[in-house]
Amino acid sequence: MNTSFRMKAVVAAMGAAGALFMSGAHAQIKIALVGPATGPVTQYGDMVKEGATTAVEMVNAAGGINGKKVELVVVDDACEPKQGPVAANRVINDKIHYVVGPVCSGATIAAAPIYNNEGVVVVTPSATSPALTEGKNFHFIFRTIGRDDQQGPAAAKFIAEKIKPKKVAVLHDKQSYGQGIAASVRDDLKKAGINVALFEGINAGDSDYSAVITKLKSAGVDFVYYGGYHPEMGLLLRQAGEQGLKVKMMGPEGVGNPEVNAIAGPAVEGMLLTLPADFSANPKNAAVVKAFKDKKRDAAGAFQLTSYAAAQVILDSIKAVGDDPAKVAEHLHKATFETPLGAISWNKNGDLKSFDFQVFEWHKDGTKTVAK
């Protein structure tokens, strides 16, 4: 695609999205919602947008924060690492001091040093790579989701104890998120004595994975784990079915998107994946879930309630200590917050002290059930 045309399209999309999600013309507290408004994984941006928007709407309906209304400003990074710093600089140039997002690990890792150095409070509801926070000493970077080294062991434990495969292939998309979670699963499977016959990367964005399907058949694997996002997982499932490779496949929360059904077709039935626990099923969250339903939003999606919690902890902190990002960051490090995720607090790295990942089975009608 022509680069200048693409950039014009991105700017137009950002402008339209920003206009859609402004909470008022005279908002006095701005929060940037950073994620993919364009590109192949916009659905994850939509999930995060639903959560943060619901939180802001509820706060504004109750009078705002200390009498101030809150405005969400959408900033597009297309979930691309090279766009992460571009988006961060836009946030800083617009003098916005708080961010819900970024959504994808690669873009978040690329942008985090800029946000931290400029004193912008970032709470990502979906970036799970340990590389975001491990050993970085960031003071302003937090997340309201667990890390891949929590998610990976949950997946590997289920595979070892419930599936009990003889020979496993672990694939990934060669990117920070996908390769990181795949390596975590591989390592834990090996510790459990499971034979990992293949650990290999595929190219995200390709349309034909027949060569890797052939390799999986030749290796005689009876289970496949894929670290990455739904477009590639959908193709792997569909093309495996077309080539007669009948094995169970599993992925991380990045494959948990109804769009995978459109790509994989009937072959999606029974796909396994790790996701945050279904916090929407907790009766304590009834009022929040109703607020989602009233706007025809899905509180049970992968990132809606982690995003709601990200916005909530920022707004609760502003209410407690004032509209000062340095004070807000300090408050986040010290406080415990009651959120739809339960009581949450962070360690010195900005990682949650605990988080519950569960294994689900995905169905061809787009629903999911807890795997057993």
**211-216 CB contacts, 8 Å cutoff, 24+ apart:** 212/171, 212/236, 213/239, 213/240, 213/243, 213/245, 214/243, 216/169, 216/240, 216/245, 216/247
Asked if residue 194 has pLDDT above 90, the reply is yes
The residues that bridge with 70 in the sheet, in sequence order, are 29
Q: How does the average pLDDT of the chain come out, rounded?
A: 92
- Residue 23: what pLDDT? 39
Question: What pLDDT, on the 0 to 100 scale, is given for residue 9?
Answer: 37
Residues 109 and 160 grouped into a single domain: no
Q: Are 307 and 50 in contact (CB under 8 A)?
A: yes
Residues 240 and 312 in one domain: no
Q: Is residue 368 part of a domain?
A: no
Q: What's the whole-number mean pLDDT along residues 61-86?
A: 97
CA distance 239 to 243: 6
In the chain, % of residues over pLDDT 70: 93
Domain boundary pick from 209, 236, 270? 270
CATH code of the domain covering residue 53: 3.40.50.2300
Tokens (6 digits) for 192: 């459990």
Q: What is the pLDDT of residues 155-168, one digit of tens each?
A: 999 999 999 999 99
**Is residue 195 scored above 90 in pLDDT?**
yes
First to last CA, the chain: 45
The answer to whether residue 21 scores a pLDDT higher than 50 is no
Q: Band the pLDDT of 27: cuts 50, 70, 90.
A: low
- 37 closest CA partner among 3, 72, 70, 4: 72
244 and 124: one domain?
Answer: no
CB 194 within 8 A of CB 221: no
Average pLDDT of the residues in 58-62: 97
pLDDT value at position 20? Answer: 41
**Which residues have C-beta within 8 Å of that of residue 179, sequence separation ≥ 6?**
172, 173, 201, 227
- Which pTM was predicted? 0.86
Task: Please give the tally of structural domains in the chain.
Answer: 2
Mean pLDDT for the stretch of residues 148-153: 93
Measured CA distances, 335 to 40, 41, 308, 347 (Å):
37, 33, 18, 11
Single out the residue in 270, 290, 318 at which a domain terminates.
270
- 338 close to 282: Cβ distance less than 8 angstroms: no
The mean per-residue pLDDT over the stretch 85-102 comes to 98
The answer on 350 and 264 residing in a single domain is: no
pLDDT tens column, 282-335: 999 999 999 999 999 999 999 999 999 999 999 999 999 999 999 999 999 999
Give residue 234's domain range.
149-270
- Cα gap 238→164, rounded to integer Å: 24
Measured CA to CA, the distance from residue 159 to residue 189 in angstroms comes to: 8
Residue 11: what pLDDT?
Answer: 38
Q: What pLDDT, in 10s, does the model give residues 333-356?
A: 999 999 999 999 999 999 999 998
Q: What is the pLDDT at residue 370?
A: 93
DSSP-derived 3-state class of residue 150:
helix
Helix, strand, or coil (residue 360) = strand
For residue 3, what pLDDT is reported?
Answer: 33
Which two three-digit tokens encode residue 206?
Answer: 């390709």
What confidence score (pLDDT) does residue 26 get? 54
Q: Is residue 365 part of a domain?
A: no
Residue 27 DSSP code: -
4 pLDDT exceeds 90? no
pLDDT the model gives residue 257: 87
CA 206 to mean position of chain CA atoms:
22
Same domain? For 126 and 87 the reply is yes
